[in-house]
Structure 1
Amino acid sequence: MVLQFHPWASAVEAPFWQVLTQRKMDIFKLDDSVKPVLGYYSTGQQVRVPGKDTTVALPARLCLGPAAFPDPEDSELSGPTRIPAFTFLAPGLVKNTNTIEDFKSIDKTALFKMTVDQIWDDITSGRAVLDPSLLNKFLLLTFADLKKFKFYYWFAFPALQADPAWTSDAMQEVSLVWTPAQTESLRLQYDQYRSQQPVNQLGFFLVKEGREAMSVARLQDWNEFFAGCDPSEIIVGFADPSSLDSHPGWPLRNLLAMILQQWKITKVRVLCYREVPGKQDISSSKLFAAQVASYSPTTDCPKAVGWEKNAQGKLGPRLADLAPLMDPARLADTAVDLNLKLMRWRILPDLQLERVQETKCLLLGAGTLGCYVARSLLGWGVRNITFVDNAKVSFSNPVRQPLFEFEDCLEGGKDKATTAAASLRKVYPGVNAVGHSMSIPMPGHPISSQSYESAQKDVAKLEELFEQHDAIFLLMDSRESRWLPTLLGAKMKKVVINAALGFDTFLVMRHGVGQDHAYHGSSGSTPLGCYFCNDIVAPTDSLSDRTLDQQCTVTRPGLSAIASAMAVEMMVSLLHHPEGVRAPADRADSEGDQEERTQQEKSGSALGLLPHQIRGFLSRFKNLLISGQAYDRCTACSDAILAAYEQEGFGFLAKVFQDAKHLEDVTGLTQMKEESEDLDMEWAEDSDVEDM
């Protein structure tokens, strides 16, 4: 009967596609030339069906794993470490196209013929005798869609066709042909052969039968090994990936072509070597005789077959959609941006997602406000978030602050800033989240001589962080802790968003950048104030001598999330305003004039109204949009304060930390208060005269 063969079934491991992706990005780039690749296979096996007295034949799989691409320092004959134990080498060629159009339109016939010609040349030149693994050469055509993690691929396993075809008798188990002693001798001899030969020799070998003992040798030892043997005694063995009882595996086709071409043998006994890995069991191996009717010497390459069929049983490529497996971080990037891109595509074409994404945000405070602000920033696709806080996670925090867990409170509590950053990276690995555990020096909080240097370092670090970031959120739990950041924000003209909470009220505001005479003088606009512009006193120590309820931020639980969300939305709206940090305030509200609101929406931020301050009242579920001007005697952003800081540096700050009233002296508030007191006295005297 005509000899038929069990075709290969490709089995590509997911890590192979990861390696291909890396090679494409870092090495191949636009180079689509053919590259070497290493596959492997094991001998065929049949597995028993659980609960039934039947077995199922496993497919003859040729596998590609993470080590498929040889390293530059590897030799041509790769060592055993390149493929798993009890497997056999199959060298191949891969051509990765740059576009799906190239993949579809490429001349596959020419690629296949190129591979067939290489196999035939290896046979006729004798290279395949020295390196039998070349008989297993295969071709892989791919296209890697790196955006969607989809991989289109098509395998070809070229096999030379004999004309006339080989015929064979029935395949028999070795136990029916050889004695148990001969079978065990064969196993021992092959194990010894495996331990002594390089990996490229293991898939094909010679066998000589003895009454008690068997011998195994390399193909290149044919003449010496079979010297004096009758042709009927010649046995050629190969590691058979087939598990079928009636069909040998695909590698035998090219082996028979080489036997016919090299040694002019038209009849040969074939050993299909099949083993159970690690169990010293070769009982499933088969033996049969193959023959061909005639042989005519030729140098012409025979015809070949070998393109793999797809899952539908037709000649065509396959698709590996590995989005769930490939790169979770890359998938997260796509998923995070999906909703934002849909907003831009469908609703708001002017949405500047890239600008928002590239904005580096500094969060001063990693408490309830800080945690909620950070999560909202992630929702907007912000990739750089830095926390500053000097506190540790306490047991009351996790229920109100979503970046902390109960375990963070144990053993005295972890640092809030670094823990919040680590938690944020768990939420989204693509974020560059960093935490700094440090204090912010405050007015009215004297620094001792021992802590002077430490305070100086904290100020220097804070200045550095301000320089490195684009938007600063003030999310602390005291008034005076906001003073130095307000000063630095005005000096560096940064986007500063302030959020403060009461029991059922909140304030969210964006700071102006001081008087900014050069800009506002030419534009005629009014500079907006900062958090301290409405005060006529310097911020003082509000943290000492506090009762328990004063030591905690006592608010309605939902208030922080509302204020935090509005703070982030205000920043994003500000980024979309053509005047940026100097954008004027929109004041229209639900009770205002519709025409005024329409005009402001048209000329302002692409996201709508951009107020200066939002004052919310949860008890009435109402928000008010308020605007306040910059105060020329402000203790944080006035020209006098900025000039004093510019001239004296940390020396000026040290005076403020020792005595907050120094701010009133510098800004002229002290003099104004004295003049006000004199005016009160004069009016009182006049009143007395009139009464008399």
Structure 2
Amino acid sequence: MATSIQAATPLQFLPLSTSISPSFWHRLTDLKLHHLKLSDDPVPICGWYGRGKQVKDRVTGESVAISAGLELDNASFDAGTDVGASDASAPSERTRLRGVLRNFNTIEEFKNCDKAKLLNELGEQIWQQATSASSSSVTLESLNPFLLITFADLKKYRYYYWCGFPALAQKPGWEIVEEWREVPLPEPSSTPLHLSRGDESEAGALAGVFSFWANTPADERRIVLSDPSAHPSAPGWPLRNVLLFLSTSPTFPQPVTSLAITLVRDGQAISARIRRQEGAETTGEGKRPATVGWEKNEKGKLGPRMADLGPLMDPTRLADQAVDLNLQLMRWRIMPSLDLDKVKNTRCLLLGAGTLGCYVARTLMAWGVRNITLVDSSTVSFSNPVRQPLFEFEDSLNGGKPKAQTAAAALKRIYPGVDATGISLSIPMPGHPIPPTAQDAIRQDLETLERLVDEHDVVYLLMDSRESRWLPTLIGAAKGKLVMNVALGFDTFLVMRHGLPTEESAASTPAEIVPGPPYRGQLGCYYCNDVVAPMDSLSDRTLDQMCTVTRPGIASIASSTAVELMVSILQHPQGALAPSDIPASKDAPAAPSSSSPSSASPLGVVPHQIRGFLANFENLKITGHAYERCTGCSQPILDAYRADAFDLVRQSCEDAKYLERLTGLDKLEEETEALLAEGLDWDEEDEEAEL
């Protein structure tokens, strides 16, 4: 039996609180970087709350009330799906609410946004449902939207947020007319809220309330709610807008002003009878009540909260996201078409781990490249650390550490997320004979180099000598890899990409290059301008010849230029096969037109060669075509390599003139000498005639 109380008690509601998982913030971070960018448009999200419960304190033996909060996690962004919906075996134990996320770009925008307006917009949405002539779509979920405003400080991984659960402050409100009492748990329901009548043998939906209760006396009407509150006398916040709907909707001849409510909690159900308070303000029912519902912070005041994930996150994961942050900002603030994944997934092989290798590796990491392999055969010397930023003084002690492995280890110390590998390897060079006892080792080195080129997408030639670049040039051409070449002078540098054959270039002859459309033939390699084969340039050198004597800043300039050129090439629709831009003539525009293929990369032109002159701080773009007698990429060389790679290497090392004979450069030299000889005879005869 219900016990009447002498004085009615106002019905109060326990506000919802939020419980936000770190996975929610990780998903917001991804959404911000890849999709929202600078947009602060509303994003649909959803959350779930469970049932309130009583837990017995093991020390005191007293019961402790634990109310359920609205839980948000990574699945909250799948608002259009049923991800995270209630379990089929107990569907009403977890209730879904739908909401709106507004993420602001600055902390000032977050602080200064019109919060009352944002909450009122949802309050108006609730009011329109409550006063609509149709109730067919009304549910507990639709009557309880929520709002989450955020600012994500992605540099410090701090997330400022404030959640609002809009409720219309109905006046007069509701009061308890029969005291709360515990009742048997009702049968499990398929919805978090249902209606009952009479003997409670039937259940009705909120959308059909007026037909379900049409002939039901007021004292037999009951709402059964899966309740997030554990308070002994205050139901959860979602009930508030449901009561507003029942007492306001015009579709019922007489608004509901009295009913019983049953709150189903974890292992317990309580029930009470309530009624709408009487008062003069009922005459203003047509006016929308004020909207309330902002969540209080941990200090119990109305204000935002802050989630600091920095201390909780794995430092490597923090670094991984931070490395990408600058690049992501570049893409969505300046270059939306920039394909960062293409750069990030590019595997780079750096042949040479000296000054050029160190600077190239650092710039690659700045672009987000994760896979870098360094190859070198030397050790760190005392002169290296001041010029080569991946080495320290201790690396040069006791004869010096291996350069490649030491540089790779330094890259991992700088950024643990990089897959950096160092390999000590000697590259066979033309003009440097192979001792009979070393042939097996050279064959193995050749196989290792071939495997490395196969496993990478871009090969950088960053060695000290001209002849050391020959074999990687040949292998890169044979395997169709993008080869980037960097060479230094005292105050000059060369950065170039090696050309690759295409169907278009196969149909083109090496015609004269003139200003105008891009050159359509095959671009040349490092050796295409040579009329002699690469040979031993290392023996019998003086001290100044043994060391690369350059202005200190030129290596970093050339290295950065090479990486920037690579990235521009990767962004071009034709990739490594992109045609070179042609330097403009004096009468032509200084820059290519937007319709030219060279400007198809969002980063600008993709030249063939860049020659820098630090003495007058100028750069010159040059296009060079492939040479049919080139010792590095011509067809006779490629055919010999494919027939027997080791034999080609062995003969080129043993015989300095072998490559010239193979390509026909020896005949060109003979023809040139013959022409010079004929010219000299003609000059002598002419002088005699004048005498």
Q: Percent identity?
A: 53
Q: CA-to-partner distance for each residue in 1:111-133, whole Å, 9 max, x for gaps? A: 9x969xxxxxxxxxxxxxxxxxx
Distance 1:633 1:380, change over 3 A: same
**1:420 aligned partner:** 407
Change in CA separation of 1:667 and 1:644 when aligned onto 2, cut-off 3 Å: same
Normalised TM-score (structure 2): 0.58
Q: Is the Cα contact below 8 Å between 1:600 and 1:609 reproduced in 2? A: no
Q: Is the 8 A contact 2:579 2:598 kept in 1?
A: no
Pick from 524, 527, 535: which aligns with 2:530?
535
Residue identity in the other structure for 1:627: T
Name 1:436's counterpart in structure 2. 423
User: In structure 2, what is the Cα distance between the partners aligned to 1:614 and 1:401?
Assistant: 23
Distance 1:544 1:316, change over 3 A: same
CA deviations 1:383-424 (Å, max 9, x no partner) are: 111101111111111111111112211222111111111111
Residue in structure 2 matched with residue 560 of structure 1 by the alignment: 555
Q: Does 1:503 align with 2:490?
A: yes
**Alignment correspondent of 1:382:** 369
- 1:638 counterpart letter in structure 2: S
In 1, the alpha carbon distance for the partners of 2:680 and 2:354 equals 50
Q: Show the counterpart of 2:638.
A: 642
Residue 574 of structure 2 is aligned to residue 579 of structure 1: yes
1:221-260 map, 5 Å? none
2:529 partner SS: coil
Instruction: Tell me how far apart the structure 2 counterparts of residues 593 and 476 of structure 1 sit (CA, whole Å).
Output: 37
1:346: Cα distance to partner? 2.4
Relative to the length of structure 1, the TM-score reads: 0.58
Measure, in 2, the Cα distance between the counterparts of 1:559 and 1:358: 28
Matched residue of 2:522: which SS?
coil
Whether 1:521 aligns to 2:506 is yes
Match of 1:609 in 2: 605
Q: Note closer, same or farther for the CA distance 1:544–1:682 as it changes in structure 2 (3 Å cut).
A: same
Alpha-carbon distance change, 397 to 587 in structure 1, aligned in 2, over 3 angstroms: same
State the match for 1:406 in structure 2: 393
Question: Structure 1 pair 592/338, CA: closer, same or farther in 2 (3 Å)?
Answer: farther
The whole-number CA distance in structure 1 between the counterparts of 2:410 and 2:677 is: 60
- Cα distance change of structure 1 residues 469 and 517 upon mapping to structure 2, 3 Å threshold: closer
Q: Assess, with a 3 A threshold, how the Cα gap between structure 1 residues 41 and 352 changes in structure 2: closer, same or farther.
A: farther
Residues 284-308 of structure 1 show CA distances to partners (whole Å, capped at 9, x for unaligned) of: xxxxxxxxxxxxxxx976799xxx9
- Cα distance in 1 between the residues matched to 2:269 and 2:536: 94
Task: Check conservation: 1:543, 1:551, Cα contact below 8 A.
Answer: yes
Higher helix share: 1
Quote the residue 1:593 is aligned against. 588
- Paired with 1:572 and 1:41, the residues of 2 have a C-alpha distance of 62
Contact 2:609–2:622 (8 Å) recurs in 1: yes
Query: 1:149, 1:326 within 8 Å by CA — same for their partners in 2?
Result: no
- Contact 2:579–2:597 at 8 Å: present in 1 too? no
CA-CA distance at 1:674 after TM superposition = 2.0
Corresponding position of 1:491: 478
Q: Which residues in structure 2 correspond to 1:230-379 (within 5 Å)?
A: 310-313=297-300, 320-379=307-366
Query: What per-residue deviation string (whole Å, max 9, x for no partner) do you get for residues 525-560 of structure 1?
Result: 221111111111111111111111111111111000
Residues 504 and 521 in structure 2, CA contact (< 8 A), matched pair in contact too = no
Letter in 2 for 1:559: I
Q: What letter corresponds to residue 585 of structure 1 in structure 2?
A: S
Look up the match of 1:681.
677
Q: Cα–Cα, structure 1 residues 600 and 458, in superposed 2: closer, same or farther, change >3 Å? A: farther
User: In structure 2, do the counterparts of structure 1 residues 642 and 560 end up closer, same or farther at CA, with 3 Å as the change threshold?
Assistant: same
Q: Across the two proteins, how many residue pairs are aligned to each other?
A: 464
Deviations 1:179-220 (A, max 9, x none): xxxxxxxxxxxxxxxxxxxxxxxxxxxxxxxxxxxxxxxxxx
Alignment partner of 1:659 out of 655, 658, 661: 655
Which of 99, 102, 110 is residue 76 of structure 2 equivalent to?
A: 99
RMSD: 4.9
What secondary structure, in the 3-state scheme, does the structure 1 residue paired with 2:436 have? coil
Say whether the 8 Å CA contact 2:48–2:70 is kept in structure 1: no
Cα gap change, 1:663/1:316 in structure 2, threshold over 3 Å: closer, same or farther? same
SS at match of 1:436: strand
Deviation at 1:663, TM superposition (A): 0.2
Amino acid of the structure 2 residue aligned with 1:462: L
Conserved? CA contact 1:601–1:608, under 8 Å: no
Distance 1:149 1:615 in 2: 46
In structure 2, the CA distance between the partners of 1:689 and 1:320, relative to structure 1 (3 Å rule), is closer
Report the equivalent of 2:666.
670
Q: CA deviation at 1:517?
A: 6.7
The residue aligned with 1:548 is 543
Q: What's the offset of the Cα at 1:311?
A: 0.8
1:168-187 correspondence runs (5 A): none
Pairing partner for 1:633 from 618, 629, 648:
629
| Farther-moved stretch of structure 1 (413-422 vs 480-489) | 413-422
Distance 1:333 1:367 in 2: 26
CA distance in 1, matches of 2:388, 2:57: 54
2:577 is aligned with what amino acid? R
Contact 1:589 1:625 in 2 (8 A): no
Q: Distance in 2 between matches of 1:503 and 1:495?
A: 27
Structure 2 Cα separation of the partners of residues 42 and 445 of structure 1: 83
Secondary structure of the structure 2 residue equivalent to 1:509: strand
Supply the AA of the counterpart residue of 2:76: T
Q: Shift in Å at residue 309 of structure 1?
A: 7.9
Cα deviations across residues 65-115 of structure 1 (Å, max 9, x unaligned)?
xxxxxxxxxxxxxxxxxxxxxxxxx9x999775216989x999xxx9x969
Equivalent pair of 2:430/2:656 in contact (CA under 8 Å)? yes
Consecutive unaligned residues of structure 1, counting only runs of 5 or more, are 1-9, 23-29, 45-61, 63-89, 116-142, 155-162, 165-252, 255-298
**Counterpart in the other structure of 1:512:** 499
1:94 & 1:405 partners in 2: Cα distance? 53
SS of alignment partner, residue 440 of structure 1: coil
Secondary structure of the 1:597 match is coil
Answer yes or no: is the 8 Å Cα contact 2:50–2:93 preserved in 1.
no
- Is the alpha carbon distance of 1:351 and 1:431 closer, same or farther for their aligned partners in structure 2, counting shifts above 3 Å? same
Distance 1:404 1:478 in 2: 21
Q: Identify the residue that residue 107 of structure 2 maps to in structure 1.
A: none
366-375 vs 339-348, greater mean Cα deviation: 339-348
Amino acid aligned to 1:676: T
Amino acid at match of 1:477: D
Distance (whole Å) between structure 2 residues aligned to residue 608 and residue 40 of structure 1: 68
Report matched runs for 1:28-177 at 5 Å.
Answer: 97=73, 98-99=75-76
Letter in 2 for 1:684: L
Read off the aligned partner of 2:661 and give its amino acid letter: D
- Structure 2: how far apart are the matches of 1:364 and 1:592? 41
